[in-house]
Structure 1
Amino acid sequence: MNVMKIQIKNKIDGEVNIPSSKSYAQRAIALAGLSQSTVIIRNLTNSDDVIAAQGIIESLGARFIRKNGELHLSKGISRDSTKEISINCKESGLSTRLFSAFSLLFDQEFQVNGEGSITQRTMEMVIDGLKEFGKDIQSNDFKLPLIIEGETSKHEVEIDGSISSQFLTGLLIVAPFLKADTQINVLNLKSKPYIKMTIDLMHHFGLEVGNKDFKIFNSKGNQSINKPIDYKVEGDWSAASFLVVAAAIGGKVKLTGLSANSRQGDKVILDAVQLAGANVKWENEDLLIEKNKLQPFEFDATECPDLFPPLVVLAAYAKGKSVIKGLNRLKHKESDRGLTLQEECAKVGVKLELLEDEMIIYGNGQPIISEETTFSSHNDHRIAMAMTLFSIGAEKPIFIENANAIEKSYPDFYKDFLTI
């Protein structure tokens, strides 16, 4: 078991260049694989999820050349082969749902495999959605692996968007390359900012998609990407959220590489820390966060559930009762994050109450860590990063079990955290 020792952090003061967005990167790699021209993707971070997306597209016949932080596409995916297809999405939830939609481009058997926690997460929404298109699917009790067969015979479908928007992202990316026009009707769509990201990037690649109130999406078939594409991936607001909170509870930090006009939903972390009393300021393209008088807060994280782990730590350091809405979005992550956060925060005397769709955090102002404390990441990258923040103001070092879970999204997190 990989265990990381985190020394006491008396204050936060420094500068970090934020890694690039894995959400944008995976989408860009998927679109690049569908291109008939050259594509350069710049500013890529070597996280596990990004590497998984590249491997999937290469298994579909695309050819990339990696040059430092750049990915150069020399050949798109092959749709001519009649051989059975098998892709391995590793532990990436986005890649699993997104690339399952690529089965619509093929008539032959298309297997979707994964590893680790993703094999325990339900794929019912993906299965139901692909059946809408006329596909036949075998699964392991609605979990991976999936075996997808049959022609794509229907082009007006209805899917459920209440659990995740990731499958819809895959459908939107694939739909322009189907032979017929497609209409996707979506019920109860969550995480709308992520769909805005997808549409934004599709437009960058020259693809058209219609959107009516995030309920009806229309796409013309037989579109193509024929022009050379040069795309730079912006900084990752999900990764930045942990360092934003670190500054809000422990000092100050300058963050570079982020876009103030980003479509990423997790940019609202700035709203949350300001509600909790922190000072937020942009200086040219640099973001400055500084601690002020911390106070309890209420925040709706329904559209940005990945912010729960850092927000819970923020609330733990604020004396009083904080409320975060959107708890139902946490069940189908790398761990059941509501229960995981409750269990781990109890180790430092912070009580979490889990209601129907709300989490109540009873912050005690400064979590007391008077003896060495070991937190489990539950093999969840965001839990590992969140628990690391409890070293701020601690009296004794802390330990993170399964610390290398951060490789999934932010491989340099510990290094960056220790420099501030």
Structure 2
Amino acid sequence: MNRSEPRPLTLSAPGPLTGSLTVPGDKSISHRSLMFGGLAVGETHITGLLEGEDVLATAAAMRAMGCTVTRSGPGEWRVSGVGVGGLLQPETALDMGNSGTSTRLLMGLIASHAITATFIGDASLSRRPMARVIEPLSTMGADFTASPGGRLPLTLRGISPAVPITYTLPVASAQVKSAILLAGLNTPGITRVIEPVLTRDHSERMLTGFGTDISVEPSDQGRVISIRGEAELRPQQIVVPGDPSSAAFWMVAASIVPGSDIVIRNVGLNPTRSGIATALRAMGADIVEQDTREAGGEPVADLRVRHAPLSAIEVPHDLAPSMIDEYPALFVAAAFASGRTVARGAHELRVKESDRIAAMAAALGACGVEIEEFEDGLAVTGTGGDPLPGGARIASLLDHRIAMSMGIASLHAGKPIVVDDARPIATSYPDFTDTAIALGAEAHWVTQ
């Protein structure tokens, strides 16, 4: 099959899922380790880096701006940085592929450097709005020429010195927060971000490790993150923990396939990312932490997950920021629970790689699941543990999380569920299908 053509895939589980696995390195931490390493003076050594297409787009962009980024083995990378303020003008457009994280964080990185960069991406990324990042970075002095709707392709003209700002996040977004903090690294004075709702804090943790002057304090308005600019970053030894977003698929898979018993090793359990485990446990999932420890400043553990009957819940709205990328997997778990699960408070899903609320409503609905769609989430009436009726072909919409979520749903279905194109999975989890097979599943590449 020509790899430029769609690759339809269906998974099935003829028996329980068993064994142990290691998920790819955390995507958020992988992106940041390359960027911060590129701003340090000296060599940063990274192990466990996610080698999916999104992270490789970040590596290529950092190389284009003068950093030396080399792979020395599986998951092992070295970054020789140019120092804060030392980024060079890229000679060609920065191709972000499908990576919204790369795009938004690099916009912040470049905004306070006196260079110009053009960002391009694939069809999916080019539909995603960038205005929420453009607005605060413009206030700092950067200039943007964007496609209609604040979309890619866009050209950013950075400025040095930029103007420090105090910015209150209008929506919960770790990407917007991080973009402003990155711009603040090369901005004289103190740049502040106020977040009324807690979001993932990988940037704050890692910037502390690299030696920046950063503080986090509570206030009546929310957490206030302050960073002093013109920083000098020290190179680091970074161990990237396993990505909880990738682990979520196997937590759900083991929970819904009868008799399953698996161990997911080295999973990052940062409290700003662990909402999916909290929600699944509330539904009755059997998830036990083993060998809890710390790696690279992040809490990690091995997770033993066994099949268990799931019950419907109303997902607390305040869990949304800590599991925003895991909602598609949660919707699948809800499809097998007893009762009607309501998961709302997730407006952000409308502007991901696809409209994930509409995409999952259509996908699960096509498989015979009763769905009610809201502007900010779904209500899902589950089967009580019985297989989904299935028998549908699902539109992945170039969205890796839709493709993997429905791949997991197909493991316990009466009739095959075909994901129309599995290629987007490579953006975050290149070994997803091989891992499913190793746990006892069967994979079938479907003829067009």
Given the two structures, how large is their TM-score scaled by the length of structure 2?
0.86
Matched, 1:72 2:78: yes
The one of 223, 234, 238 equivalent to 2:241 is: 234
Answer with 56-65 or 2-11: which moved more: 2-11
Residue in 2 aligned with 1:221? 229
The one of 81, 96, 100 equivalent to 2:103 is: 96
Give 1:185 deviation, angstroms: 4.0
Tell me how far apart the structure 2 counterparts of residues 47 and 139 of structure 1 sit (CA, whole Å).
Answer: 27
Give 1:342 deviation, angstroms: 0.6
Give 1:332 deviation, angstroms: 0.7
Tell me how far apart the structure 2 counterparts of residues 378 and 80 of structure 1 sit (CA, whole Å).
Answer: 35
Q: What is the correspondence of 1:302-317 to structure 2 with a 5 Å cutoff? A: 302-303=320-321, 304-317=323-336
Q: For 1:225, what is the secondary structure of its paired residue?
A: coil
Give 1:405 deviation, angstroms: 1.1
Answer with 367-376 or 168-177: which moved more: 367-376
Matched, 1:334 2:343: no
- Give the letter for the 1:122 counterpart: P
Residue in 2 aligned with 1:170? 179
Tell me how far apart the structure 1 counterparts of residues 165 and 402 of structure 2 sit (CA, whole Å).
Answer: 39
Count residues with an aligned counterpart.
413
Residue in 2 aligned with 1:125? 132
Give 1:123 deviation, angstroms: 1.0
Q: Indicate conservation of the 8 Å contact 2:66/2:87, yes or no.
A: no
Residue in 1 aligned with 2:297? none
The one of 295, 305, 323 equivalent to 2:311 is: 295
- Give the letter for the 1:108 counterpart: I
Q: Indicate conservation of the 8 Å contact 1:60/1:85, yes or no.
A: no
The one of 48, 51, 61 equivalent to 1:46 is: 51
Q: For 2:191, what is the secondary structure of its paired residue?
A: strand
Residue in 1 aligned with 2:443? none
- Give the letter for the 2:151 counterpart: K
Give 1:397 deviation, angstroms: 3.1
- Give the letter for the 1:271 counterpart: T
The one of 338, 348, 373 equivalent to 2:392 is: 373
Give 1:170 deviation, angstroms: 2.3
Q: Structure 2: 5+ residue runs without aligned partners?
A: 1-5, 292-300, 440-448
Q: What is the correspondence of 1:73-222 to structure 2 with a 5 Å cutoff? A: 73-76=79-82, 79=86, 81=88, 86-141=93-148, 142-149=150-157, 151=159, 152-158=161-167, 160-162=169-171, 164-178=173-187, 180-186=188-194, 188-189=196-197, 192-194=198-200, 196-213=201-218, 214-222=222-230
Q: What is the correspondence of 1:253-292 to structure 2 with a 5 Å cutoff? A: 253-259=262-268, 262-263=269-270, 265-284=272-291, 285-292=301-308
Q: Structure 1: 5+ residue runs without aligned partners?
A: none
Tell me how far apart the structure 1 counterparts of residues 366 and 194 of structure 2 sit (CA, whole Å).
Answer: 41
- Give the letter for the 2:371 counterpart: L
Q: Deviations over 1:61-84 (max 9, x none)?
A: 101221112111234368375677
The one of 14, 17, 38 equivalent to 1:12 is: 17
The one of 354, 379, 394 equivalent to 1:360 is: 379
Given the two structures, how large is their TM-score scaled by the length of structure 1?
0.91
Q: Percent identity?
A: 25
Q: Deviations over 1:100-122 (max 9, x none)?
A: 01222322333222223111111
